[in-house]
Amino acid sequence: MLCAATFAAAQSAPAAKPQVVVLATGGTIAGAGATAANSASYQAAKVPVDKLISGLPELANVASVRGEQVFQIASESFTNEHLLTLGKRVAALAAQADVNGIVVTHGTDTLEETAYFLHLTVRTDKPVVVVGSMRPGTALSADGALNLLNAVTVAGEASSRGKGVLVVMNDEIHTGRDVTKSINIRTEAFKSPWGPLGMVVEGKAYWFRAPVKRHTLNSEFDITKLGALPRVDIAYGSGNATDTAYKAFAAAGAKAIVHAGTGNGSVANAVVPALRELRAQGVQIVRSARVVGGGFVIRNAEQPDDQYDWVVAHDLNPQKARILTMLSLAQGADSKTLQRQFLEY
């Protein structure tokens, strides 16, 4: 039995800080401009992770933080191989008992794709938070420092567990499934069509909803079992569209083509015959939509998907549809399985 003095000491002892690892991959959050006035023109991926962490002493108030430099690239150059390398490192860290949360710093151009990939493949309930910035740290009103502090705060909070991979930007907490970059020059660039999960206000996370689609521990995908990912390409629909891009992608080895269609994933009459022919040759055809801000592609509306054996991407945008399609085909899925997965994930 504890004596009164021992009990009082235990009650007054400060709680142990969460252990958070920052995995750096480059991007604007590690960028530098020529002057403080350069917020949109700068060089990405210049500042190493140790300098990012040491330049933000406030991090020590919310967690015990250490960093690893996984890559130092601008995110438009993120390849499938980068996704696999990063995902396996995140999974390895998540399996360590001495790691409570993981933050991935990332360029904003493909941040949403990486976040969704991790959301689908890392089998953990520990918080994994992806973060970037819209302005380099050298700019007036740079947003990276607060974004990183907020990301570490969320990664270290027990309330963040089990919510899948999160994206923290501009004081908002988004699910990696929904969030997308909708603006390219303002700090409120990242939006979710169904709204954020919560907010970070003065060092505390406030939650308003939780994701209901399958992810992380409930996912049938597992980063530790993934090898090379099959080629999946995106072709953009527009007025006066032709079948040139679709045929070229298939000839180059694409196992699936995501059609970024107008409206309800519509396909121009001039393109339909080529897509039917490609499907007959074994190429999966996925109808997504280029529209921004919500809604989803309805199966057997605009096109007879059942008849053509095509798949609809539901509410996933083309770039996220590519991620899910790659993972599905890596496991040898047929069109029926792929369609199920689009509805469940």
Give pTM, 2 decimals: 0.93
Same domain, residue pair 119 and 178: yes
Same domain, residue pair 23 and 144: yes
| Range 153-163 average pLDDT | 98
Query: How much is the mean pLDDT over the chain?
Result: 94
Question: Does residue 12 carry a pLDDT above 70?
Answer: no
Q: In the block, which residue shows the tokens 């970037």?
A: 132
Q: What pLDDT is stored for residue 39 in this prediction?
A: 62
Same domain, residue pair 268 and 194: no
Residue 140 in tokens: 């007036």
Active site residues per annotation: 28, 108
Least confident residue range of 6-20, 22-36, 105-119, 151-165: 6-20
Q: What pLDDT is stored for residue 295 in this prediction?
A: 79
Same domain, residue pair 92 and 58: yes
Distance, CA of 189 to CA of 180 (rounded, Å): 8
Residue 214 is part of which domain span?
Answer: 18-218
- Residue 305, in any domain of the structure: yes
- Residue 306, in any domain of the structure: yes
Q: Look at the chain and report how many structural domains it folds into.
A: 2
What single DSSP character describes residue 29? G
Same domain, residue pair 197 and 254: no
CA quadruple 183, 187, 188, 190: dihedral sign = positive
Q: What pLDDT is stored for residue 183 in this prediction?
A: 93
Distance, CA of 14 to CA of 265 (rounded, Å): 55
Question: Does residue 301 carry a pLDDT above 80?
Answer: yes
- Nearest alpha-carbon partner for 111 in 192, 202, 43, 223: 192
Per residue in 161-213, pLDDT tens? 999 999 999 999 999 999 999 999 899 999 999 999 999 999 999 999 999 99
Beta-bridge partners for 215? none
